[in-house]
Amino acid sequence: MNGNRMGAMTLRIEHATVVCWREGRAVVLADQSITIADGLIRAIGPAGAAGLAAGPDGQLGEVIDASRHLVVPGLVNTHHHLFQSLTRGLKAVQDAPLFEWLTQLYQRWQHVSFDAMRDAAMISLAELMLSGATTTSDHAYLFPQGSDVRLEAVLEAAAELGIRIHACRGSMSVGQSKGGLPPDACVEDEDAILADSLRVVEQFHDPSPLSMRRIDLAPCAPFSVSRELLRDTAALGRERGLLLHTHAAETLDEQRYCLERFGVRPIGFLDDAGWLGPDVYLAHCVHLSDAEIDRFAETRTGVAHCPCSNMRLGSGIAPIRRMLDRGVKVGIGVDGSSSNDGGHLLAEARQALLLQRVSGGAEALRVVEAFRLVTLGGAAVLNRPALGNIEVGSAADLALFRADDVAFAGAIAQDPLAALMLCHAPRVDRLIVAGRTVVKGGCITGTDLPALVERFNARVAADFSH
């Protein structure tokens, strides 16, 4: 697998309307040219300006006429479970809260194979990419006993499609026999978890600024791992300079579990285990006290907000306004397809905006703040300063939407940024990752997506629908 392929040929985008960030402010730049070479944005400025026609080697490659396009930074997804497209829409859990939902799904997930996980990752990643995502985190915590599943299933899918990935080597070690939620068949020995974590880090992790593939370490949740595994995982991660990721404070059931089993709330449990800090990002964080939010701000802990999943499972509304006001790093996550049933990252940002307004009024989250969550916010959560913007020196990750699509009609003439965040954004027309076109004309390049979908549906019908 080549996890770091980058475009060497110069690419120029002409006559684009660009939405990006300048000095912390969102701006809309009309009739722009963007020059890309070696995976970086080399120049941006008014169309036809001197110095924009060719790359640093003086050679001109492909020229894209973007006069009918809206160009935005590649979007950053901070939480997903790619394998969960295998059980998307399952009847048994359509109306279930988290713990019941998990208990039902573990019975299906314990039979997952390497090939099933790889196909599921391909499906979930393709859906993300078609929504404008160029970077994603994936929390792969399912390694059933006797299964051939390995993290390579996810890595292979990401490399084939050409998306940047933070592949989280997740883990579960406390099964039902020890008071945990998952069945024993779904958990692993803790020494084996740490050994395999070290293996994938040594084999696949790339810490370089423009890395296409990083490995994060990610014990699943307080109800499926021990305090010892959390501490040992954090020690390994910090020794190797890795990010740490887990679920936290998602539901009141989780809060009750932690209080009964550990005598503290979920964030206190994590804090006691050394799991807050600038190298930690936590998914959900729905049920937080003001003191816990202050602790996030103090420690620079990141949060992956998953609004659709929180609504789908009836978990609650995360206090995003309070977090932002205190300076907490917040990004957007679509979460797994079994709790969201979709992977449209722009739609997720729109839902974040609307959900905050349900509880806090029309000014609870502004349009520009929702756009930040899915660009610079997500980049900050994943500690990737080269991502999330279109400026000289940034990674050449761009999403091009048709400005003349009916979904934007009217709004695009008012405010292109509002069109993106308030309307139902269409599929991306072209997606560029590290200078390479990975979506063109609304289709994934180099992949027969209809054939993949047909094969995947047959697999789900045969193995995961009952």
Query: Half-sphere exposure (CA, 13 Å, Cβ side) for 334?
Result: 32
pLDDT digits (tens, 9 = 90+) for 405-458: 999 999 999 999 999 999 999 999 999 999 999 999 999 999 999 999 999 999
Higher pLDDT, residue 18 or 5: 18
Residue type, 46: P
Per-residue confidence (pLDDT) for residue 140, from 0 to 100: 98
Q: What span, in angstroms and rounded, lies between the C-alpha atoms of 35 and 392?
A: 9
55 has pLDDT over 60: no
* Alpha carbon distance 422, 34 (integer Å): 26
Structure tokens at 70: 């809206």
First to last CA, the chain: 34
pLDDT of residue 218: 98
Average pLDDT, the chain: 95
Token pair, residue 381, equals 């959560």
- Taken in order of first residue, the domains within the chain and their CATH numbers are 11-74+386-444 (2.30.40.10), 75-381 (3.20.20.140)
User: At 77, is the secondary structure helix, strand, or coil?
Assistant: strand
Q: Decide if pLDDT at 251 tops 90.
A: yes
Residue (of 16, 68, 24) closest to 41 by Cα position: 16
pLDDT of res. 374: 98
pLDDT digits (tens, 9 = 90+) for 285-329: 999 999 999 999 999 999 999 999 999 999 999 999 999 999 999
Rounded Cα gap, residues 83 and 378, in angstroms? 21
Q: Mean per-residue pLDDT for 197-209?
A: 98
Question: pLDDT tens-digit profile of 60-88?
Answer: 688 999 999 999 999 999 999 999 999 99
**For 110-144, how does the pLDDT look when each residue is reduced to its tens digit (9 = 90+)?**
999 999 999 999 999 999 999 999 999 999 999 99
Query: Per-residue confidence at 381, pLDDT binned at 50, 70, 90?
Result: very high
Q: Are residues 247 and 305 in contact, defined by beta-carbon separation less than 8 angstroms?
A: no
Helix (H, G, I), strand (E, B) or coil at 178: helix
Specify the pTM.
0.96
The backbone torsions φ and ψ at residue 6, rounded to the nearest 5 degrees and listed phi first, read -135, 150
- The beta strand positions in 262-419, using DSSP E, are 280-284, 302-305, 329-332, 398-402
* Non-local CB neighbours of 366 within 8 Å, separated by 6+ positions: 353
pLDDT tens digit sequence for 136-152: 999 999 999 999 999 99
Q: What pLDDT score does 394 carry? A: 98
CB atoms closer than 10 angstroms to residue 206? 13
Confidence of residue 52 (pLDDT cuts 50, 70, 90): low
* Band of residue 466 on the pLDDT scale cut at 50, 70, 90: confident
